[in-house]
Structure 1
Amino acid sequence: MAADKNSGAGNAKKGSTLFKTRCLQCHTIGKGEPNKVGPNLNGIFGRHSGQVEGYSYTDANIQKNVEWNESTMSEYLTNPKKYIPGTKMAFGGLRKEKDRNDIIAYMKDASK
C-alpha cells in the first residue's frame, strides 16, 4: 500500500490520518475486516450503495443505488444526510474539498 503517495488530487498519507480520526470509529477498510456500526469500505469504488454483505442498510441507502466513484463519494462526504436522505450515517460531513480528496485518495489506496 502506497499511503504516502499522492493519488489523484488528494494526498493518501493525509487522508489516512483523517480516516483514522473521522471514519475508523464506525468503518473498517481492510479486506476481510468486519463491519462495525458502518459497513466495511474495502473495494467501495465501483460498487453500488447498500451492497456490503452482512451489513444492515437503510432502505434509503439501498434505493439510492449510487455507484461510488471519486465524484459521488466527494458529494456524499460533503453532507451524507443531504446526499442520501434517510441514511443512518451520523457523520456530519467534510466541508473542505481538500479533506474529501485526501480521504478518497487514502480509501482508494487502502482498498487495493
Structure 2
Amino acid sequence: MALPEASAPDGAKLFKNQCATCHTIHASDPKRQGPTLDGVYGRKAGSVADFHYSPGFAQADWNWDEAHLDPWLANPQAVIPGAIMPYHQGKAEVRTAIIGYLKDLH
C-alpha cells in the first residue's frame, strides 16, 4: 500500500502563523513591528516610507525576489548584518511557500 502524497505547504496559512505577528499585507493596516509586505515582491529592499530600518538596509541596493527572499527568511542577519528580524526558517519548502504567497500578492 502506497503512502498518500504529502500536500505542499500552504503559504497563506504559514504567513498568518509565522509572519503576521510582525508584518501586514495591506498598506492600510495598522503598523506592526516590521514593515508592511504589501507589494514586497519586486520592491526595493528597505524602501517602505515611514518605516525605520536597521542601518544595514542602506547598503541593500536590490529588489526583493526569490534570490533575496529565500536566504533572508533562512537567516536575515547573514543577508543584512545588523538586521532586526528574529525569524529564521530552516525548511526550504516552508520558505518557498511563503515566498510564493508574497509573490502572488504582488
Structures share fold, TM-score greater than 0.5: yes
Bigger relative CO (Cα 8 Å, ≥ 6 apart): 1
For structure 2, the 5+ residue unaligned runs are 1-6
* Contact 2:45/2:64 (<8 A) preserved: yes
1:57 to 53, 56, 62: 53
Whole-Å separation in 1 of the counterparts to 2:46 and 2:24:
16
Superposed CA RMSD in Å reads 1.9
Corresponding position of 2:24: 28
For structure 1, the 5+ residue unaligned runs are 1-10
Corresponding position of 1:44: 40
Task: Output the TM-score relative to the length of structure 2.
Answer: 0.84
Q: Which runs of 4+ in 1 moved over 4 A?
A: none
Cα-to-partner distance string for 1:17-66 (whole Å, 9 max, x where unaligned): 11111100000012432331000001111111110011111110222223
2:64 to 68, 71, 87: 68
Report percent identity of matched pairs.
Answer: 37
Corresponding position of 1:7: none
In the alignment of these two chains, the number of paired residues is 100
